[in-house]
Every structure is written in structure tokens, then in C-alpha cells.
Structure 1
Amino acid sequence: MDEQNKNLILATALSFIVILAWFVLFPPPEPETAADGTAPTTQQSTEGAPPVAPADTATAPVTDSGDSGATVSLADAPRVNIETPRLTGSISLIGGRVDDLKLKDYRTTLEDDAPIVTLLSPQGTNDAYYALQGWAAGSGLDPAAVPGPDTEWTLSEGDTLGVDSPVTLTWDNGAGQVFTRTISVDDNYMFTLGQSVVNNAEGPVNLAPYGMIVHHTQPDDLENFFILHEGAVSISDGELVETDWDNIAEAETNARWGRQAIVKEGVTTGWVGFTDHFWQAILIPDQGQPFDEALTYDARTDVYRAITRQPTQTVAAGGQASMTTQLFAGAKEWATLRAYEDAGVPKFIDSIDWGWFFFLTKPIFWLLHELNKLIGNMGIAIIGLTLLIKAILFPLAYKSYVSMAKMKELQPQMEKLKKDAGDDRQKMQQGMMELYRKEKVNPAAGCLPILLQIPIFFSLYKVIFVTIELRHAPFFGPFQDLSAPDPTSLFNLYGLLPWAPPEAGTIMALIFIGILPLLLGISMWLQQKLNPAPTDPTQQMIFAWMPWVFMFMLGSFASGLVVYWIANNTITFTQQYLIMRSQGYKPDLMGNIKGSFKRKPKPKPDARK
């Protein structure tokens, strides 16, 4: 067998097997569903009350001091409006919760009139999701004397929460303690939640401050895709932990927290919250001060909580105590997260799911992001990224294609060796190895560039799939979302008719293949034609089917990834053609193309029969 063809088949088959296994085991997710917050409301049986026990009563079971069954709907609760360049919503004065938040810069679909994305929603709505904070009563203090999730606060300062326009809420418990909560927000997605208590009673009181993000039930629109983490995410003194929803629900019961819980105690730097594909809500306590992080699940009410808890504070008579927590609630934009990380939020950029190959995905995304800033078109940026990757790998590719050209020059000598050796395979192999050493040819060199493409392919796929910068990113014409499959097909005359293409992953989508997958198959086919078809029938069959199998298999992948693959094939074809010509071997491209369309001659009948 031709060693060059053997290597090419080996490398291509390995790539095919890996990608096919990935495609079969982890098929692309369903198209993104609208998250416009207009789902019908459902009544919840309990409230996300503070599951916090003060540090001085650590052995006591945790109580839900506000599970009163109240339902605080968006319509009937007294509210304070939120209005910033990027956010709109409101704060409920019942519990002082940030529970109504929409992202102005993002719409649920590509249509101009599509609803903007809803991130947080109050109790009583489907997938209720909100943030609150408070104080848990310590020893000697009645739990009713601290503000709970059903406490009605009074707006004492401010009117509408906006950039440089904080609001202040107050509550007097009538027992000598006055609680104050000041909420501010920046021009992106970061809220600062400051709360304090003044003790006007005659004796000291003990209180433990906490912050909490509450999610009623698992989200309805979970994508459940292996490449994507959905659930809780946290940093605990430098350690990144990603916890799936099911793992929270299956946690062991923690006596101190009084429910199923995953707890990190004594953390000094970190944060915790919930994340999905593009959005997240994260609690960030004061860094450098000890606090506990917990993920809890209440099986009675199907409620998940991400909690930060500070140590109990003793407030003397006439004294006061305070604490500050930040709440990030918004889109997982790389530049925004990096700015917050530079401002002191540790490893905040890691809230994006970079995966196991973060050492590749992070620099690949950085290159893609910078190219997009420079060019202004994400599709062209992907092509530019492909050029840069090929430039980095060029020295290896050059050696590979030079080796392939030399292998072609040695073809007559290899055929002579095969003829002389006959059926003695050992003699043939020894002769070939001697020929390789004499001519300084590495028969495995042709595999390396293809093998290196495998981790780069998966890393780029991860980047295209998980980063919000690719969401609804346009290329040209009908390609207005590079994170989605090719929207064109023969069914809609490749984008000329205003009809939606068949749903990705269906038989119809395979039949009515899009423009990009078609170009992918053609580019792979042309790349094959730089070399004559192998004489072995099995090899011929593999080579004949490989481009078209890839075409159909990658047709339902993100179109940005297919753009990369087409660009990669085109550049590889050009490199291989020019390098092999420079080494004296002239690929018969047109002859090989014509040969693939020739009918095979029928075997002559045996005259002896």
C-alpha cells in the first residue's frame, strides 16, 4: 500500500472517528428557545427564605424563617424601578429582592421585534429566579426581629435605581433595631448591595449577614449538552468548581444547613451563583474577609439556592454593623467579565465554561475577539483566525508536504521493492525502511498537521458554542447567527425564499443540505484530488465517501465552525499544491478530477467458460 495514502487514510479516519463519536454521543442542542419571561404563572408553595444559621449556633438546624407560602407577583408588590443603559426591571419592596431584570442589549431571537431577554423573574412566575440578602437572628434575638423574605421595606431615598442613582430601603423592627439597605448599579451588570443595622436597644444583639440567589425548580430550557455547563459555578480561594443541577439536588443532607447542601466554609476570596449558556447571576462578598459558600436544595419545594454567609456580628447597644455584597446579573461578555476581574473579582473570566482545553480555548477566543474588534465581522474574523493558525502550523505543514512530495518521487522505487519482495512482507518493510533512511523521508510526517487539527477543531467549536460574542453574530446575507446551523437549504432556495429551513438534525435537513456544508464537502473533495486515487478498492471507497460524510455530519453544527473548516481546507489545499510544486512534484489536479468520473471497465469474460 502507498505509505502516503496509508498515512492520509489513518489521519483522516482518526479525525472522522473522533468527530463521528462526538456527533453521535453529544448531538447539537435544539435551537434556543425564547426566554422572554411571558410564560404562564404558577403558584409556588414556599419562599426562598434565608437558610442560614449564625456561626455561634453552628450546631443548630437551619430554619426557613420566611416559608410563609406568600406569593409576591410582579403586579401586586410595591416596587422600585431599575433603569440603566443596559438593564430594565424593578426591585420588590417585599423582601427587598432584585427579582425583575431584563437585558436591553439582547433579544430572544433575530427578529427586530423579538422580546428582550429576561434574566430574573419574581416568585409566582415560571422558573422564578431572584436575589435577596438579609440578616439571620443569632442567639438572644427573636427571628421575627430581623427582616425576612416577606418583610415590606420602605423606600427612604431615591426614586429609580440607575447608574449614579442609588436607592435606600429601611425597616424598623419595633424592638430597637433599624435596618437599612442601599442598592446601587453600574453601567453594566454589577449591583452593589450594602446593608446595615443600628441597635438602639439597651443590650447587644447577634446577627449573621447573608446573600442568596434563589431558583425555583431547574430551568425549563436546559440544553443538556455535554460541551456546556449549566448549574452552579463558584470560585473558592482560587479553586473553580462547576456543579450541575442534579448534583445539587443529590447532595447529602447537611445538619448545619438543614437541607441537602454542598458547603465551602472559611473562604476568603471567591464567589458563587448560577449560570447557563449565556447569562448568569453571581454573588460576590467582600474579598479578604471569611465567609461560607453553599449550594442547597429543598426537596419539599424544589428550590435551589446559592448562598454566601458572613460570620455572626455582635452589635453593642448604640452601635451598628454593616456588610456589602456585589451581585452580577447579566450576560457573560468576555470583555465585561475581564474588566470586573481586573477590578478585584477573582478569576471572574472563568465563569465562562472554557472546558478542559482552556489553555487552547482562551487564547483562541482572545485572538478571535481581537480580530473581530479590528475587522468588525465575526465570520471574516474566523477566516482570519484560520489564517493565523495555519501560519503558526506552517513550519510543520511545510515539512509534511515536502515529505509527501518526496514520497511521490520514491513511488517507482517503492513499487520495485514490492515486486522484488513478492509475498515476503518482512523483506518489503525492511527495504522500505532502508529507503526512507537513505532518502531522509519520514512517512508519518503527513499525519501530524491533520492530527493537530483535532484539538484545535474541538477548542474552536467550544469557543463558538459557549461564548456570547458568537450569539446572533452576523456574517453576510442569510448567515446572521454564526452560533446556529446554516439557515440555507434547497428547501428555501438557499436563502432566497423567506421560509425557514428544515430543523437541524432532521432527515429533511440532511436531504436539503445548506450552502456551507456543501462548500465544506467540495473543499474536502478537491483537497483529495491533489493525489491520484489509491489502487486498493477499500481505500478508494473510503476516499470517495469521506468528504460527503463530513458534509452531512457537520451540516447541523454551528455555521461559524463550518466557516472555519472551509477556510482551513482551502488554505491547506493551497499550501499543499504550492509546496509540492516547489519540490518538483506537479499534482495532476484536473486529471485526478476527471479520473474520478470515469466508469470502471467491466471485467472481460473468461474465454475458457
Structure 2
Amino acid sequence: MNQTRVFLIFAWLMVATLLWMEWGKEKSAPPAPAVTAAAQAAATSTVPGAPAASNATVPSAAAAAVPAAPGAAVSSAVAAPNAAQTVTVTTDVLKVVLDGGTLHRADLLKYPSEAADDSAPVRLLAEDANNYFVAQSGWVSQNGATPTHESGFVPEGAQRDYVLNSGAKEIAVPFVWTGANGVTIRRTYVFKHSGYAVTVRDEIVNAGTAPWQGSIYRQLARVPRALTRSGPMNAEQYSFQGAAWYSSAEKYDKRKYDKFVDDGALNLKVTGGWVAMLQHHFFAAWIPGPNDQGEFSLATANTNGGVPQYLIRDVGPGVSVAPGAKAQTQARLWIGPKLVHAMKAEQVPGLDRAVDFSSYSILATMADAIFWLLDKLHGLFGNWGWSIIGLVVLIKLAMYPLSAAQYRSMAKMRKFQPRIEQLKERYGDDKQKFQMAMMELYKKEKINPVGGCLPILVQMPVFLTLYWVLLEAVELRHAPWMLWIHDLTARDPFFVLPLINIAVMWATQKLTPTPGMDPMQKKMMQLMPLVFGVMFAFFPAGLVLYWITNSGLGLLQQWWMTKRYAEAPAKG
């Protein structure tokens, strides 16, 4: 097998990959779930730690203030948030609208929704029907009324707008609930400078005469996000979207929206861990205390407008507060991008797995390694485009012994190509004898005809893995390189890189020997630069930059080896 045939194999594999990705996109579109009796039963969870006689349940997210679809009649049970009970918090990275039980809206101020500088920031949490995504938390108890995510908590004080000043490290936003039995729950949201992890602390004070027992629940509810763009090269449609969770026993796991009901109930008892809803580049996650015992569950429902809603919930820990005593529990709520360094800084086991490069463990491991290397190079160059070029150089250096043997063998094949053509003329249509004679020549001259296969085959998984890194890593989102390339994750706007790729492939073909190739194969190979150029015109610019750099360095190495080992054609 020579270099030419390997190029053909690679082209067919690329086409097959694109078809597989498009097929996967069609399968991943979540249908509106039929709310069966089992799903309705899953919408409520018995509080762990409560007495057996207790029937306290967590209110279903479907019963909360879920907006109806446009044009649909709004049920009297669905009420908009009380504006008098909501506050707005603005930090250097977040702008959040919340009340005591629900975060209704969250804008990521450092991340524009489009590459343009004047673009509005990404809105991760939202209340509109088609993009509904909220974080909720409340309490349940067998001792009477409790504050839920629907009602109960009220702002403590008259302030409704909080701004984290540039010199401050954090800002606290307090809410309070007072029960008729003398129990008070004070909830405080703590926002930190440059932080996407919000601390949510609940302090229970029992001023009554009887013990009080209760359990906290935290949940994320959303409607699947509609794609902003379509097309085979739209990165968002290939990124995982659904629920994810982590436990010390079962590690990282996830479930797509359309599998919420089909894959059965979750009901996973855990200590610590976290639950999340993932979307392309961004996510929200509840992170309980590392020693808190709870239970993770999933639920689905249809709103009164017929819009499907999905929920992941953590119930627990349960607390017991004696008369005159107090207790406290807290968790963190991540609202923001999938920044690997920031997530690792939270020191939460497995939180960085929210960067879901691939469902296949081998590709995910390779993607982690490639991103780690790119990140180190970015620390050196300060530019993701030059980091990609540096990645190619490092891979080329690591594979130099293999590629040197490849190009040395190809140079010898070029030198002896006239003799191979004579063998072809001598044996005519007897392909078997021709192949035997050609292999005898290779053996005599110590030419390895399969020397060109291994380096290219090694490059293929690296190429595909880098594709997933470019799709998923938020660090590369809207990242510029230089001149006209303002976004490495989008296609080249002027198709300059694909044209350069055509030129490099054409030059490579001119240096590549084609001994014994029939005319039809030669015609196909002449079209390969154009086919790759058209295909790469729709690929992310960073991926085309990787391929051009790899091909360009390979062309230089091939030219040098050809000059060194094939100065003059061998005589027939």
C-alpha cells in the first residue's frame, strides 16, 4: 500500500465520519416525552431521613412557574415570579436575577453569544418558554410548612440591586423564611469576584418548643435548547446536551434528554458528588458538601403549553434541629463556562468531566491529553492558533523516525519508478506476475511499500480528536489566530486556508510516486486536492490550520528526502 492509496482510505473515512455524525445528530433530537405514570411518580421524591410515617415530598418542577408556549393559554396554577421578591446581582462575570428559591436568569458577561464585540452576552439561565433553564432549591418537612423554590423566602432588607465592586472579593445576598412554629431559615447567596461558583448557605434556627426535621432539595429544570444554526459543520449539534452527575461510587455518568424515561429511574444514593445540566460550552451544576448524604433522581414532564421539561434533582441532607438549637448546610451552584482550570480550582472530584469531549472513553482520554498539551503551548505562545501549529511540530518531532523511513522509502520508489513501469509493460495484463516482480524489486532494493501507511494512520485519530477539542473546549470558543482568522472554531470566512490546502496537496502529489497505478486511480488522485479543499472549506479554521501545517511540514520533509535519495532515476 503506498501513500496514494492511504489518502484514498483517509478520504473515505472522513466521508463516513461526516455521515455518522449527521446520523447521530438526527437521533439525538429529543422528542416531547409522553408523561407516563412512572414518569409522574418520578417527579416527586420521598425525603431521605424522614420518618416512615412522613409523606413529605419535593414539589415537582412542572408545578413551578414554567412559562407556557407562545400563544398557549396560561393556567392559573402557573404564576410569574413576584418582582417584589426578586433581586439582581451583578459581578464582573455574572448578572443574575433570583429570588430565595429560584435563579431565574443568568447572563455570562465575559462570553458574547456571537463573535462580534457588540454581541449580547450568553444567557445560560432563562425563563422564556423555548429556552427555559432554572436552578431551584427549597425544603421539605413532616413538621409543617417549609420554604420551597416556589414561595416562602423573601429578601432580607429593602435592597434589590447588588453590585460587586471592583475592590471587593465577594458579596452576600440574604433571604429569610419564618415559620409559624418558630423555625427560621436564613438563606445567603455568596457571589465571588471572577467566580462562577455561587455558595448557597442555609442556616436553620429553631426558636420553637418542638424538634424540627427537614431535608433540603436542589434541582435543575430546563427545556432542551434549540440549535441556533443548522448544517453538517455546526459544532453545537454534536456536543452532548442532557443531564450529568458524579458520585464517588459510580463516577461520571450522563443521560440524554430523550433517554430520561427509557433508561429507567436513577434514584442514586450518594455522598457528595454533583448534578448538572450540560450544553455546548456551558453548564449549571449543584455541588453539595463533600460529606452530605443525598439521593439523585431524574424526572420529565410536559408543561401546560405542551413543552417538554427535564429535571435532575438532589434531595438531602436531612437535618434535625432541637428547640433552641441551630444547624447549617451549604452547597455550591456552578453557573458558567466549562473552564477546566476554574473547575479544578473548586477541588470537586470529577467536575472537570463536564467537558465532555466524547462518549467514547478512548477518544475522551486522547482529547484530554491533546487539550492539556494545547493548554501548555497556549501558556507559552498566548495564542491558540500558534498553539495548534506548535502541537503539529511536537507530533512531527515525536514521529520523525517513522516519517523519515516513510519518505526515504517513497524517494527510493520514485527513483525506481522507471523500472517499475518497464515491469508493467513487460507483464501487460498479468497483474499477478507484475505484483510478484515488483515485490521482488522492492525486496532487492530494500524498499518498504507500506512505509507510508503508519504515520498517516497515526495522524487520523489525532485529527479527529482535535476536531472534538475544537468543538467542545470553551477556551477556544471565538479564539482568533491572526489577520482574517477571528474564530478558530468557525470556518475560514474567505476560504484562504482551504485553498492553501489544495496547493499543498497538489505539490505533495507531484512528489509522490505512483508505481503500478492504473489510469482510473490516477484520475481519482488528481481530484483529491479539490475534494479535500471543498470538504475543508466547511471545517473549523483551527482544524484546517492543523492539517495544512502537518501537510506542509510533511511536504518539506518529503522534498528533502526525495532530493537526497532520488537524485537520478534508476536505469531500466
Which category describes the TM-score, using the shorter chain as reference length? Answer: 0.7 to 0.9
Name the residue aligned to 2:244: 233
**Alpha-carbon separation, structure 2, partners of 1:26 and 1:403:** 36
Name the residue aligned to 2:97: 90
**Alpha-carbon separation, structure 2, partners of 1:189 and 1:117:** 14
Unpaired stretches in structure 1, ≥5 consecutive residues: 1-5, 31-48, 253-260, 489-513, 588-609
**Alpha-carbon separation, structure 1, partners of 2:339 and 2:437:** 59
Name the residue aligned to 2:212: 205
**Alpha-carbon separation, structure 2, partners of 1:172 and 1:161:** 27
Change (3 A) 1:527 1:418: closer
Check whether the contact 1:23–1:553 (CA below 8 A) recurs between aligned residues.
Answer: no
User: Taking structure 2 as the reference length, what is the TM-score of the superposition?
Assistant: 0.83
Check whether the contact 2:338–2:473 (CA below 8 A) recurs between aligned residues.
Answer: yes
**Alpha-carbon separation, structure 1, partners of 2:451 and 2:335:** 50
In the TM superposition, what whole-angstrom CA distance separates every residue of 1:481-513 from its partner, at most 9, and x where no partner exists?
Answer: 11111112xxxxxxxxxxxxxxxxxxxxxxxxx
**Alpha-carbon separation, structure 2, partners of 1:14 and 1:189:** 45
Question: Among residues 150, 159, 162, which one is paired with 1:160 in the alignment?
Answer: 162
In the TM superposition, what whole-angstrom CA distance separates every residue of 1:97-141 from its partner, at most 9, and x where no partner exists?
Answer: 22221111111123232211211124x554222212221123xx2
- Please state if 1:288 is matched with 2:291: yes
1:226 Cα deviation from its structure 2 partner: 6.3
Amino acid at match of 1:345: V
Mapping of 1:333-372 within 5 angstroms?
333-340=339-346, 344-355=347-358, 356=360, 357-372=363-378
In the TM superposition, what whole-angstrom CA distance separates every residue of 1:454-473 from its partner, at most 9, and x where no partner exists?
Answer: 10110111111111122111
Report percent identity of matched pairs. Answer: 31
Name the residue aligned to 2:512: 531
Check whether the contact 2:414–2:566 (CA below 8 A) recurs between aligned residues.
Answer: no
Mapping of 1:187-202 within 5 angstroms?
187=193, 188-202=195-209
Check whether the contact 1:298–1:304 (CA below 8 A) recurs between aligned residues.
Answer: yes
Name the residue aligned to 1:394: 400
Check whether the contact 1:464–1:470 (CA below 8 A) recurs between aligned residues.
Answer: yes
Change (3 A) 1:445 1:198: same
**Alpha-carbon separation, structure 1, partners of 2:210 and 2:8:** 78
In the TM superposition, what whole-angstrom CA distance separates every residue of 1:503-536 from its partner, at most 9, and x where no partner exists?
Answer: xxxxxxxxxxx22211111111111111356662
**Alpha-carbon separation, structure 2, partners of 1:231 and 1:13:** 37
Name the residue aligned to 1:264: 268
Question: Among residues 12, 15, 27, which one is paired with 1:20 in the alignment?
Answer: 15
- Please state if 1:247 is matched with 2:242: no
Name the residue aligned to 1:508: none
Amino acid at match of 1:114: S
1:84 Cα deviation from its structure 2 partner: 1.5
**Alpha-carbon separation, structure 2, partners of 1:192 and 1:466:** 27
1:311 Cα deviation from its structure 2 partner: 4.1
- Please state if 1:71 is matched with 2:86: no
Check whether the contact 2:87–2:99 (CA below 8 A) recurs between aligned residues.
Answer: yes
**Alpha-carbon separation, structure 1, partners of 2:489 and 2:23:** 11
1:278 Cα deviation from its structure 2 partner: 1.3
Change (3 A) 1:387 1:185: same
Amino acid at match of 1:235: Y
1:164 Cα deviation from its structure 2 partner: 2.1
Check whether the contact 1:212–1:283 (CA below 8 A) recurs between aligned residues.
Answer: yes
- Please state if 1:520 is matched with 2:501: yes
Name the residue aligned to 1:299: 302
1:286 Cα deviation from its structure 2 partner: 0.8
Change (3 A) 1:401 1:180: same
Amino acid at match of 2:531: V
Check whether the contact 2:414–2:512 (CA below 8 A) recurs between aligned residues.
Answer: no
1:582 Cα deviation from its structure 2 partner: 2.4
Check whether the contact 1:137–1:146 (CA below 8 A) recurs between aligned residues.
Answer: no
- Please state if 1:105 is matched with 2:105: no
Name the residue aligned to 1:332: 338
**Alpha-carbon separation, structure 2, partners of 1:19 and 1:425:** 30
Check whether the contact 2:275–2:312 (CA below 8 A) recurs between aligned residues.
Answer: yes
In the TM superposition, what whole-angstrom CA distance separates every residue of 1:287-341 from its partner, at most 9, and x where no partner exists?
Answer: 133222222212355332221122433322223332111110011122222322x
Check whether the contact 1:479–1:486 (CA below 8 A) recurs between aligned residues.
Answer: yes
SS in 2 for 1:23: helix
Amino acid at match of 2:246: I
SS in 2 for 1:304: strand
Check whether the contact 2:220–2:311 (CA below 8 A) recurs between aligned residues.
Answer: yes
User: Taking structure 1 as the reference length, what is the TM-score of the superposition?
Assistant: 0.78
Name the residue aligned to 2:74: none
Aligned-pair Cα RMSD in Å: 3.0
Name the residue aligned to 1:543: 525
**Alpha-carbon separation, structure 1, partners of 2:226 and 2:431:** 61
Greater relative contact order, per chain length (Cα 8 Å cut-off, separation 6+): 2
1:432 Cα deviation from its structure 2 partner: 4.2
**Alpha-carbon separation, structure 2, partners of 1:17 and 1:402:** 26
**Alpha-carbon separation, structure 2, partners of 1:372 and 1:148:** 43
Question: Among residues 524, 541, 544, which one is paired with 1:559 in the alignment?
Answer: 541
Change (3 A) 1:518 1:148: closer
1:193 Cα deviation from its structure 2 partner: 0.7
Amino acid at match of 1:548: L
SS in 2 for 1:131: strand
**Alpha-carbon separation, structure 1, partners of 2:60 and 2:463:** 51
**Alpha-carbon separation, structure 2, partners of 1:205 and 1:131:** 26
